[in-house]
Amino acid sequence: MVFISPRGIDRPPPLSTTPRNLSFTGLVLLLLFLSIASGALFPIAILAPAWQLRVGAALINSAPIPLMGLAILHLAVYLDKQDELLVSRRRIAAALALPVALGFLLLVPLLGTALVRQQAAQLQEPQLRLRRASTQLSALRAAVRSATTAEDLSQRLVALQAPPLTAYQQNLSLEQQRLLMNATLDRAAVQIARQQAALPSANPWLVAPEILRTSLACLVLAAGFAALARRPHADRSVLDEVQQSWHEIGRRRRRPRRSTGDASTKDVMRALARAEEPSPGPERQHER
């Protein structure tokens, strides 16, 4: 349709480019999401729980951006259904939304496992540190016990990377040095035992609220992308197809089945009908 101004100059309709502008805005939002998601990938460490949680958090936090972009693409097609470019963009974006919805469903077990693994790693790190301290303590006790002279003891301590003896301790005899070192090592052993007793045990329930929060977020986002996703050559969204499948399954379950009581009732009716039929008389029997 062409608008003619009073001066006789043809002008396009004032809102003719609005759907395409909306479509371009939707594409910009989709590209913005891709840039945010790709930035969270580096440095890549696929098997590390920290990397999995970082990428998962970036995807969940930035997921509303592509949802808005998809909605804008659908709105642009709704405003101008005859524009083939808009329909093509919407078809491609809706087809790509399906694997995105499946990806958010897969994030539920992946992030839950990563949270449990991260908790185990956080508890294992202080345990390893205390084990190394206990091993170092045992090596120092052996060095103090096997030293033959004060100089030998000092050299053994330097080899084990222990704090050197002070000038006052170096002037003492070997037995006095042993007493001081054993008293110091006993105090260190008591501190290590206290720290080991204070370490919390692994408890998956401590991360249950975080697992629940991330799982709900992933499920909601998966449903949102499924509502805007379409399979090729489909006229409905994937979410509508899933809902229809569930309704059909429920309808089949609620459908009444043929019971044995109905069959037995029919048999009884047939028997009664046969009983009401007249039996052949003696003349007919004689003829036979």
Instruction: Flag whether 269 is in a domain.
Output: no
- Could you give the 3-state DSSP secondary structure of residue 6? coil
Neighbours of 88 (CB within 10 A): 11
Q: Residue 206 to residues 62, 118, 136, 202, 235: CA-CA distances in angstroms?
A: 26, 12, 33, 9, 45
Average pLDDT over residues 14-28: 80
pLDDT tens digits along 225-251: 999 999 988 888 999 999 988 888 888
Instruction: Flag whether 215 is in a domain.
Output: yes
Q: Where are the alpha helices (DSSP H) in 147-237?
A: 150-159, 167-170, 174-198, 208-228
pLDDT above 90 coverage of the chain, percent: 42
Instruction: Flag whether 38 is in a domain.
Output: yes
End-to-end alpha carbon distance in the chain: 96
Instruction: Flag whether 71 is in a domain.
Output: yes
Instruction: Flag whether 2 is in a domain.
Output: no
Whether this model's pTM surpasses 0.85 = no
Instruction: Flag whether 21 is in a domain.
Output: yes
Choose among 231, 256, 232, 259: nearest CA to 245: 231
Q: What's the structural domain count of the chain?
A: 1
pLDDT tens digits along 90-148: 999 999 999 999 999 999 999 999 999 998 888 888 888 888 989 999 998 898 888 88
Average pLDDT over residues 261-286: 51
Question: The tokens 């805005």 sit on which residue?
Answer: 25
Instruction: Flag whether 156 is in a domain.
Output: yes
pLDDT band at 1, cuts 50/70/90? very low
- Could you give the 3-state DSSP secondary structure of residue 10? strand
Q: Which domain holds residue 85?
A: 11-254
Instruction: Flag whether 62 is in a domain.
Output: yes
